[in-house]
């Protein structure tokens, strides 16, 4: 059976109107309490008008301790917030589009100055980028976080989300548990000796969500197929993870890459946006022009050595491999920019769905354009300045189109 872009397709127990998905994209449109504002609702309404099969929200915290470091993150950790999210799901459901919320806890990938809480992780190993030695989560604390994930999923269902996505990629807490070189625990949440991965945390989150929301409430998982650590996640580990997710019968698996320790390799840029980084990134910001010039001259050539440049469909090989080992729908994300690339991946059976992030930032109506012109090419030039600006007080936007209002 040849898969087409614009045909109905099943994801979990949901019927999507087509095989295009807007992948999770941080919005930066919520207040200090994680309450989404009017811009958030407007954004999702606008995305829904373009009629992708589904939309996945930006990373949303399940507890204030689990916030990311970027300002303006949405959070769904309490019942009181349901009406705010309900407004958004109602707006999306005016169109034939499904809406998923991405739920996450950051673990070691955040800063105390951003969350107001000590940084805690699966182990005492710090993230090279965030550079704060995490306190090791106790077994009781882990069980509390599992409960918070299930509460948040329950509020998501009550808010009208068609399903949730658990962020188990990009180095966030679930990924930290899975990763054999980050997780060095000796308790039950350590590495499963047979599997070689730390799956119990994710396993218990899935089970608990099913108890609270029902077995049929769709759960998508976003994973990283590989990463850039010296001791990196191997192909063998990746296959074991796919088998584990297959055994859990999750509704779909989206396959991305990497961790925030090498964040540019998650997105991949055509050219490193070094001036934007030195101007806005809280870890690299250099205000003094002379020092900035010296940094660019002396340090940048070495620092940039590990950065992988943009190439089209750069994670597709992971999706293709996964598809050989599971019948669960596989979503490929990373570097899809043209109708031809999307159609080829689907018609060759390399993925069941294609998700995109940056093309939707510059053109929220990307699916409509592709529907009108099967050869359409996204206007995104992969400058990735949108990703750098996530760290600022500006909401996520395309900088090629000019800067917008501050949050
Ligand atoms: C501005 C920006 C924000 C992002 N926010 C998230 C996020 O909240 N959650 C997530 O899992 N991935 C996030 N990503 C990663 C994307 O979902 C996607 O995996 C990556 O950008 C590759 O897809 P693309 O080539 O279509 O942009 C973000 C990427 C960008 C550029």
According to DSSP, the residues that pair with 288 across neighbouring strands are none
Q: Find out whether the beta carbon of 106 lies less than 6 Å from any atom of ligand 1.
A: no
Q: Find out whether the beta carbon of 110 lies less than 6 Å from any atom of ligand 1.
A: no
Please give the model's pTM, rounded to 2 decimal places. Answer: 0.96
Q: Find out whether the beta carbon of 357 lies less than 6 Å from any atom of ligand 1.
A: yes
**Alpha carbons 213 and 151: distance in angstroms, whole number:** 9
**Looking at residue 233, what is its pLDDT?**
96
Cβ atoms of residues 375 and 7 within 8 Å:
no
Q: Find out whether the beta carbon of 137 lies less than 6 Å from any atom of ligand 1.
A: no
Q: Find out whether the beta carbon of 390 lies less than 6 Å from any atom of ligand 1.
A: yes
Distance of CA 358 from the midpoint of ligand 1 (Å)? 7
Of 17, 20, 23, nearest to 342 by C-alpha is 20
Pick from 222, 259, 357, 398 the residue to mutate for probing ligand 1's pocket: most ligand atoms within 8 Å of its CB: 357
Of 207, 211, 213, 194, nearest to 249 by C-alpha is 207
**Alpha carbons 270 and 25: distance in angstroms, whole number:** 19
Q: Find out whether the beta carbon of 175 lies less than 6 Å from any atom of ligand 1.
A: no
Tens digit of pLDDT per residue, the chain (407 long)?
789 999 999 999 999 999 999 999 999 999 999 999 999 999 999 999 999 999 999 999 999 999 999 999 999 999 999 999 999 999 999 999 999 999 999 999 999 999 999 999 999 999 999 999 999 999 999 999 999 999 999 999 999 999 999 999 999 999 999 999 999 999 999 999 999 999 999 999 999 999 999 999 999 999 999 999 999 999 999 999 999 999 999 999 999 999 999 999 999 998 888 888 888 888 888 888 888 888 778 877 777 778 999 999 999 999 999 999 999 999 999 999 999 999 999 999 999 999 999 999 999 999 999 999 999 999 999 999 999 989 888 899 998 875 444 44
Q: Where are the domains of the chain?
A: 9-263+311-381
Buried-exposed string 111-125: b where 16+ CB fall within 10 A, e elsewhere? beebbeeebbbbbeb
Closest CA to ligand 1's atom 21: 267
Distance of CA 24 from the midpoint of ligand 1 (Å)? 6
**Looking at residue 405, what is its pLDDT?**
47
Distance of CA 138 from the midpoint of ligand 1 (Å)? 31
Closest CA to ligand 1's atom 18: 357
Distance of CA 261 from the midpoint of ligand 1 (Å)? 15
**Looking at residue 303, what is its pLDDT?**
74
Closest CA to ligand 1's atom 28: 25
Distance of CA 256 from the midpoint of ligand 1 (Å)? 9
Closest CA to ligand 1's atom 20: 267
Q: Find out whether the beta carbon of 20 lies less than 6 Å from any atom of ligand 1.
A: no
Pick from 23, 34, 68, 384 the residue to mutate for probing ligand 1's pocket: most ligand atoms within 8 Å of its CB: 23
Q: Find out whether the beta carbon of 223 lies less than 6 Å from any atom of ligand 1.
A: no
Of 102, 107, 129, nearest to 27 by C-alpha is 102
Cβ-in-10-Å burial (0-12, 13-18, 19+) of 49 comes to: middle
CATH class of 9-263+311-381: alpha beta
Place of tokens 């993925």: 351
Task: Provide Rg for the chain, Cα atoms.
Answer: 20
HSE-CB of 115 using CA atoms within 13 angstroms: 24
């Amino acid at each position: 059976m040849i898969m087409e872009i614009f045909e109905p397709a099943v994801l979990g127990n949901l019927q999507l109107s087509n095989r295009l998905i807007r992948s999770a994209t941080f919005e930066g449109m919520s207040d200090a309490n994680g309450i989404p504002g009017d811009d958030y609702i407007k954004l999702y309404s606008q995305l829904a008008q373009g009629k992708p099969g589904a939309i996945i929200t930006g990373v949303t915290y399940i507890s204030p301790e689990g916030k990311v470091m970027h300002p303006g993150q949405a959070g769904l950790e309490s019942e009181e917030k349901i009406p705010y999210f309900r407004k958004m799901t109602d707006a999306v459901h005016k169109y034939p589009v499904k809406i998923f919320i991405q739920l996450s806890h950051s673990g070691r990938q955040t800063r105390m100055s951003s969350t107001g809480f000590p940084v805690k992780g699966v182990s005492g190993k710090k993230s090279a980028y965030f550079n704060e030695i995490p306190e090791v989560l106790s077994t009781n604390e882990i069980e509390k976080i599992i409960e918070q994930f299930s509460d948040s999923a329950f509020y998501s269902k009550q808010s009208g989300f068609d399903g949730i996505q658990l962020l188990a990629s990009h180095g966030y807490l679930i990924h930290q548990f899975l990763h054999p070189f980050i997780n060095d625990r000796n308790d039950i949440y350590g590495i499963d000796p047979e599997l070689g991965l730390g799956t119990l945390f994710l396993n218990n989150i899935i089970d608990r969500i099913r108890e609270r929301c029902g077995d049929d409430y769709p759960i998508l998982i976003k994973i990283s197929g590989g990463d850039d650590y010296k001791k990196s996640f191997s192909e063998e580990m990746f296959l074991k993870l796919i088998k584990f997710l297959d055994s859990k019968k999750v509704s779909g698996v989206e396959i991305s890459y990497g961790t925030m320790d090498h964040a540019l390799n998650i997105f991949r840029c055509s050219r490193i946006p070094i001036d934007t980084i030195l101007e806005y990134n809280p870890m690299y910001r250099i205000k003094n022009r002379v020092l900035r010039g010296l940094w660019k001259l002396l340090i940048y050539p070495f620092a940039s050595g590990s950065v992988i440049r943009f190439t089209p469909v750069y994670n597709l090989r992971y999706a293709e491999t996964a598809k050989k080992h599971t019948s669960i729908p596989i979503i490929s994300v990373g570097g899809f920019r043209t109708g031809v690339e999307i159609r080829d991946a689907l018609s060759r059976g390399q993925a069941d769905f294609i998700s995109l992030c940056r093309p939707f930032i510059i053109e929220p109506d990307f699916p409509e354009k592709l529907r009108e012109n099967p050869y359409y090419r996204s206007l995104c030039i992969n400058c990735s300045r949108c990703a750098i600006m996530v760290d600022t007080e500006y909401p996520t936007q395309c900088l090629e189109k000019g800067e917008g209002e501050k949050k």
